[in-house]
Amino acid sequence: MDMNRRQFFKVCGAGLTGSSLAMMGFSPQTVLAQVRNFKLARTTETRSTCPYCSVSCGVIMYTLGDSAKNNKASIIHIEGDPDHPVNRGTLCPKGAGLLDMIQSPNRVKYPEVREPGSKEWKRISWDQAYTRIAKRMKEDRDKNFVAKNAAGVTVNRWNTTGFLASSAASNESGYLSVKVARGLGMVALDTQARI
Amino acid sequence: MTNHWVDIKNTDLVLIMGGNAAEAHPCGFKWVTEAMQHRKAKLIVVDPRFTRSASIADFYAPVRVGTDVAFLAGVINYLLSNNKIHIEYVKNYTNASFLVNEKFGFDNGFFSGYNDEKRSYDRSTWTYQMGKDGFAMVDETLQNPHCVFQLMKKHYSRYTPEQVSKVCGTPKESFVKICEMIGGTSTPDRVMTIMYALGWTQHSVGSQNIRGMAMIQLLLGNMGRAGGGVNALRGHANVQGITDMCLYSEVLPGYLGSPTDADPTREVYLQKRTPKPLRPNQMAYPQNFPKWHTSLMKAWWGNAATKENDFAYDYLPKKDGAYDVLDIFERMYQGKMNGFICQGFNPLAAIPNKKKMGVAFSKLKYLVIIDPLHTETGEFWKNFGDFNDVDSSKIQTEVFRLPASCFAEETGSFTNSGRVMQWHVRAVEPPGEGKTDAEIMASLFVRIRDLYKEDGGAGPEPILKMNWPYSNPTNPAPEEVAREFSGRALADIVDPKDKTKVLVKAGEQLAGFGLLQDDGSTTCGNWLYCGSWSQAGNNMARRDLSDPSGLGYYPGWGYSWPANRRVMYNRAGADPSGKPWDPSRKGIAWDGSKWAGFDVPDMRPDAKPEEHVGPFIMTPEGVARLFAVGLMAEGPFTEHYEPFETPIGVNPMCPTNPKAVSNPAARVFKGDMEVFGKAKEFPYAATTYRLTEHHHFWTKNSEANAIVQPAQFVEIGADLAKEKGISNGEMIKVRSNRGEIKAVAVVTKRIHALECDGKKVHTVGIPIHWGFVGLAKSGYLSNTLTPYVGDANCQTPEFKAFLVNIEKA
């Protein structure tokens, strides 16, 4: 006789027969007193930093689904890192909503272009995007690059295309961005730090 | 921050002014409550609104928007006239004793040297008197009428409690009470900290707000000490890091001044930026500038940067004027820009005067948006009714929108407000076809470089010769990049005292910027970050929670620039003989043979106290500047000027000088001055602010945040609501001279009318978080209202003080 926990109680509830059933050797299999698995038990923990204000709270991101081939991991939960010396596991109302920012329906997902005069976006490939943007930048640079100023001083600047850099980007991204911008001769360069 | 987040627990008194940490930085604010509970520290909040921070303060006082300079000048006057200063600290660690040029003066709102037409100063009289020995002259008795201390006393004597109350609207009794509490920290056993944010920076006098506070902390002897310092609470997780990487026009990574047209050669460039000590025995640490700059050039141009070509000096672009955001968008507005790249930035919402911004973008040929989220800037060309009323067919800008990763989808480091660099690791892939900012920038660069290789073009050398050593050129690994900006030796570096001893072998990562060289034998992309990835590995990823001091330094957690130092100027935390001012809060001390303790000394380790090496090693004087020699645009001392849109129309500090009503040295473009509003038509002072549920313009794209704060509102005080017959929850129109918005009125008791210069001044509070893109209800961009003018020194826009009128919608 095979019986699960619920059925066993049902049978027991039916009356005295329950105890006699057990006596006759029809005892249920060993059961675990557990309702369901802890949700985060099979997740991967990744430590990170909240991207909002500069308290830079430590967070732990819990991902599922990263152990199978051709399966993209997704974050199912984010909480404060209890080991972090500044936030000690806490998060504010902004940080508590992090998952919804990462998974916002308003994420940009594909390269797009809005053609001059158009009322809508059009999806393009990365290759098309890079090709068109690089061409635009080179055209403008070639036309407006100033090698020497009126006094004959080498100035090597390009000031007709500007760049605003993200303060949400990592130091590594920021360093690469400034290296590229300065290498191209850009001087119209700024960031959120200003405001 | 000169100190760091956990350090706030070590203080005796917290002043929150120009910020609202409980609302905007809640998890950092917890260290304020920690100090209040465990050290019995007191909290003072000064703000135009009774904020969340104010709600748990021991003492709160209101202040009129845009008058903080006057408030702080009043505090300086109180400290000086009541002898509530730490005199030994002031004498030894500041320039109080330095003699100033006898021609320096101040008269009726102007310092000496003002040029009315140029709206700027000739600063040649804001200098020290120099002795025949080549050093600045001092009077250690502080009695000479031209010494900084006496000049300060005279300048600030005008800021009496009565005058402060007249300018700021702060009740006199409240002001005096705050002065007494602040003055109580002038003894060596008590320390105050100040926490500020955009409430001080976003003014036409923003730099002087912060300078005023720095002067107070110096007079009290609170700089360089655990529980003290001047602490800026910054806005994004990595706004500090991106500032240090210097993604702005004035500087190169590590705050190295950008070359300008006036620096034709490397020699001239270096000579201007390499100061000599102004007093005997001083470190004048920027004497090392050539080492920092040369190492940067080696990082950027590698083998192409040689001694023969002046380390590729000519490859760097030279600046011919200002290129801050206000200047850039003014150029764009005038049709002088063709292209623009916005990386994680929403300028249509974030730069003042939305209407002007929209026109500016319409004049571009191409615009590239690199962002994880939809932004208003990306859709400036689209009609959103009243919120963005444009005709798409007339806008000829080609707009690209590229999907970028967010923090969870990249590996790298962020630098927090306390200068601690922390490493984070990618957890997931970006959605769709998203890529990291680094990959996008590298791919674009490689495309452009290939075009120059194949077709040639204007000035190709800096591009073709750029050092690009990454294993995947279109997607450099963050670890490779971090090692590059931290720096390594290109040749063996020998000990200058013993040439047979090799300190670092060629190819090894450097332990710190003290090893950098000016002969091309080291490469380092940012001298301040040197050592963050040493030969020991990635120090930014360290997670050691040991805290031997008990003061929360956590020296093994991440890496704190500079040199893993947790409290800047920590030499000033000890007395001239090298003993800590307060042994219970010791940072470093002189142990008889060297400087040592819980922190990395901000001092040459073997500098004996009797050598009198000053603790402020970045100034050529070795001491901090109460008098700002030659640096500030509007004066070496702080002085009150009204916001450009003033509700009282006159500067009560100089009522007879109509040219010094507002900051006389602030830059105003033609056309912008004309659209400043006057109090007659726009009688109410307005200020923008932020809510704890939202982060700038991002979180309206996050469902959880959009649910908790779904709709735009404007906050007005109960007395103004009564005057205007507006009830709570009604729709109102808010107008400035640049545009109007409609929003729900939230009537509170948190804002009261203030009495200023005999006038009643109401304040209107405008939270900024809504727009026409997002999951929250659509709203107006708050910069529809704000004026296009910035701080005279750094051009931070004046978002915190302007004029509006309100009426029922």
**Mean of the pLDDT values across residues B318-327?**
97
Report residue B145 as tokens. 């009428």
pLDDT at B723 > cutoff 90: yes
pLDDT at B230 > cutoff 50: yes
- The pLDDT tens digits for B35-79 are 999 999 999 999 999 999 999 999 999 999 999 999 999 999 999
How many angstroms separate the Cα of A184 from the Cα of each of A180, B453, B535?
6, 14, 32
**Mean of the pLDDT values across residues B482-495?**
98
pLDDT score of B133: 97
pLDDT score of B80: 98
| B432, closest residue in chain A (CA to CA) | A109
Predicted TM-score (pTM) of the model is: 0.95
- Whether B410 and A170 lie within 8 Å, measured CB to CB: yes
Residue B516's Cβ-side half-sphere holds a number of Cα atoms within 13 Å equal to: 32
- Whether A91 and B703 lie within 8 Å, measured CB to CB: no
- 8 A C-beta contact, residue B6 and residue B557: no
Residue with tokens 């004027």: B321
B277: left (phi over 0), alpha (psi -120 to 50) or beta: beta
**Mean of the pLDDT values across residues A91-114?**
97
| CA-angle at B386, arms to B382 and B389, nearest 5° | 40
- The pLDDT tens digits for B532-560 are 999 999 999 999 999 999 999 999 999 99
Buried residues in B618-641 as b, exposed as e (16+ CB within 10 A):
bbbbbbbbbbbbeebbbbbbbbbb
Q: How far apart are the first and last CA of chain A?
A: 74
| Count of Cβ atoms closer than 10 Å to residue B48 Cβ | 28
- Whether A97 and B429 lie within 8 Å, measured CB to CB: no
Where is B596: in which H helix or E strand? strand B595-597
Q: How far is residue A70's CA from residue A79's CA, in Å, rounded to a whole number?
A: 27
- 8 A C-beta contact, residue B556 and residue B541: no
What does the DSSP 8-state code read for residue B425? Answer: -
Q: Which amino acid is at B595?
A: W
Q: How far is residue A94's CA from residue B641's CA, in Å, rounded to a whole number?
A: 36
Q: How far is residue B774's CA from residue B784's CA, in Å, rounded to a whole number?
A: 18
- 8 A C-beta contact, residue B280 and residue B610: no
Report chain B residues whose CB lies below 8 A from the CB of A122: none
Report chain A residues whose CB lies below 8 A from the CB of B245: 171, 174-175, 178
B567: left (phi over 0), alpha (psi -120 to 50) or beta: beta
- 8 A C-beta contact, residue B214 and residue B200: no
| pLDDT > 90 in chain B, percent | 100
| B235, closest residue in chain A (CA to CA) | A53
Q: How far is residue B5's CA from residue B240's CA, in Å, rounded to a whole number?
A: 14
Q: How far is residue B437's CA from residue A87's CA, in Å, rounded to a whole number?
A: 27
Confidence of residue A29 (pLDDT cuts 50, 70, 90): low
Report residue B743 as tokens. 């929003």
Confidence of residue A72 (pLDDT cuts 50, 70, 90): confident
- Whether A195 and B457 lie within 8 Å, measured CB to CB: no
Confidence of residue A3 (pLDDT cuts 50, 70, 90): low
Report chain A residues whose CB lies below 8 A from the CB of B425: 46-48
| DSSP-based three-state secondary structure for B719 | helix
- Whether B408 and A75 lie within 8 Å, measured CB to CB: yes
Cis-peptide into B605, omega within 30 deg: no
Residue with tokens 């300060």: B152
Residue with tokens 């007879």: B656
pLDDT at B223 > cutoff 80: yes
Summarize chain B as % helix, strand, coil (round to 5).
Answer: 30, 20, 50
Give chain B's mean pLDDT. 98
What stretches of B139-240 adopt beta strand conformation (E)? 192-196, 230-232
- 8 A C-beta contact, residue B554 and residue B6: yes
pLDDT score of A16: 44
| B479, closest residue in chain A (CA to CA) | A172
- The pLDDT tens digits for B741-783 are 999 999 999 999 999 999 999 999 999 999 999 999 999 999 9
- Whether B237 and A195 lie within 8 Å, measured CB to CB: no
- Tell me the ipTM for this assembly: 0.97
| CA-angle at B278, arms to B277 and B284, nearest 5° | 30
CA distance B196 to chain A (A): 13
Summarize chain A as % helix, strand, coil (round to 5).
Answer: 30, 20, 45
- The pLDDT tens digits for B591-606 are 999 999 999 999 999 9
pLDDT score of A1: 46
- Whether B373 and A108 lie within 8 Å, measured CB to CB: yes
Q: Which residue in the set B25, B433, B438 is minimally distant from A172, CB to CB?
A: B438
- 8 A C-beta contact, residue B233 and residue A53: yes
What does the DSSP 8-state code read for residue B497? Answer: T
pLDDT at B249 > cutoff 50: yes
pLDDT score of A7: 56
- Find the Cα–Cα–Cα–Cα dihedral B383, B389, B393, B396, rounded to 10°: -100
pLDDT at A21 > cutoff 60: no
Q: Which residue in the set B25, B331, B382 is minimally distant from A53, CB to CB?
A: B25
Report residue A191 as tokens. 């960031």
Residue scoring higher pLDDT (A108 or A39): A108
Q: Which residue in the set B370, B428, B692 is minimally distant from A93, CB to CB?
A: B692
In degrees and rounded to multiples of 5, residue B308 shows phi and psi of -65, -35
